[in-house]
Amino acid sequence: MISGYVRRAGLVDVLGTYGRTNVQGETQQKLDVIANETMKQAFMYTGRVCVMGTEEEAEPIPIPEQYNPGKYVLLHDPLDGSSNIDVNVSIGTIFSVYDRKTGSGPGTLEDCLQKGRDQVAAGYVIYGSSTVLVYTAGHGVHMFTLDPTIGEFRLCGHDIKTPAVGKYYSINESYYQRWSEGYRAVVRAFKGVEDSEHRKNARYIGSLVADFHRNLLAGGVFMYPADSKAPKGKLRLLYEAAPLAFVAQQAGGVASDGVTPILDIQPTELHQRTPLLIGSREDVAFVERTVAEVDAVAAT
Ligand code: AHG
Ligand code: MN
Ligand code: MN
């Protein structure tokens, strides 16, 4: 349904701003709101979910008694990459599923604040040159492409594994002045400034789902570090970092905040942010090691 809206953007009135800002303080795009409403409608009445948490709403959405609250918790970023909507660049939907912790009835914030390691399923849909669903339920990562001629998702990747060393590095280099010396050293190494041992190709789309998906398949490392303006980074733990960290882990990759594995972080707020370093395990290890060494020296 969301793919249908995305692919008709410009033809139907779904472009531009909605005229409100969300809890993130970001101007909501019309497609953000449409995607959020579509996700709520799709899961409100299934009897499988007891509470939903969404990037677009400040508070969790408990499923009322009359809709038979179920045993799962659903957290989602209904539309990731909003800045790319009106310029026809890939965007996506990210989702994260937990077992409920509270007994019965409508779910609560407590049900939403669980460590990423306790996810029972996670994944994303990317609205790119094709519409692709990637998910894991803890038994490998599997990929499906929407076949528009039959309206079904068809398996196109079973038990995907991400390369240990990747082809790409992804970071918004316009923030160079805000980074620590450690991240500057890492990016110089990826550019091959001193030597070509760690040189990689640069790819940064500005949609986390698209940057993550390319690196998952081709190998690479995505970095959104904390910086002088965003001391906790920009990306959100519960519905961006944690679900993608679960997918990365199941594909043989890793994700951390630079120090702590994303899956081990205990959330305390629904919309809390985290620095994110995610992708090929040897590349992530190189970044963690280099940042630790360089920032330790810079601190003395
Ligand atoms: P969202 O559109 O859901 O707010 O997410 C946008 C995020 C993420 O998709 C992307 O990696 C990041 O914002 C890009 O941020 P910068 O423009 O600061 O690089
Ligand atoms: Mn997002
Ligand atoms: Mn979003």
Q: Which of 2-16, 27-41, 111-125, 171-185 has the lowest mean pLDDT?
A: 2-16
Report the C-alpha gap between 134 and 259 in whole angstroms: 27
Q: What is the DSSP letter of 64?
A: P
* Burial bucket for residue 121 (CB in 10 Å: 0-12, 13-18, 19+): middle
Instruction: Choose the residue to mutate in 21, 54, 179, 224 for probing ligand 1, maximizing ligand atoms within 8 Å of C-beta.
Output: 224
Note the ligand closest to the C-alpha atom of 224: 1
Distances 102 to 66, 112, 152, 232, 267 between C-alpha atoms, Å: 18, 10, 35, 29, 16
Closest ligand 1 atom to the C-alpha of 55? Answer: 3
Q: Is 27 in the pocket of ligand 1 (CB under 6 A)?
A: no
Report the C-alpha gap between 38 and 47 in whole angstroms: 17
Q: Which domains does the chain have, with CATH numbers?
A: 2-157 (3.30.540.10), 168-299 (3.40.190.80)
Tens of pLDDT, residue by residue over 5-53, are 998 887 777 776 777 777 887 777 789 999 999 999 999 999 999 999 9
- All residues with CB under 5 Å from ion ligand 2: 77, 80
Return the residue whose CA atom lies nearest to atom 7 of ligand 1: 81
- E runs forming strands in the chain: 17-21, 27-29, 49-54, 61-62, 72-80, 91-99, 121-127, 131-136, 141-147, 152-157, 168-170, 201-202, 220-224, 254-256, 276-279
| Mean pLDDT across the chain | 95
Segment 145-152 mean pLDDT = 95
Q: Is 208 in the pocket of ligand 1 (CB under 6 A)?
A: yes
pTM: 0.96
Return the residue whose CA atom lies nearest to atom 6 of ligand 1: 81
Answer whether residue 99 shows pLDDT above 90.
Answer: yes
> Ligand 1: distance of its center to the CA of 64 in Å?
32
Residue 266: the pLDDT is 98
Q: Is 81 in the pocket of ligand 1 (CB under 6 A)?
A: yes
Instruction: Choose the residue to mutate in 27, 29, 82 for probing ligand 1, maximizing ligand atoms within 8 Å of C-beta.
Output: 82
Note the ligand closest to the C-alpha atom of 35: 3
Return the residue whose CA atom lies nearest to atom 8 of ligand 1: 208
Closest ligand 1 atom to the C-alpha of 26? Answer: 4
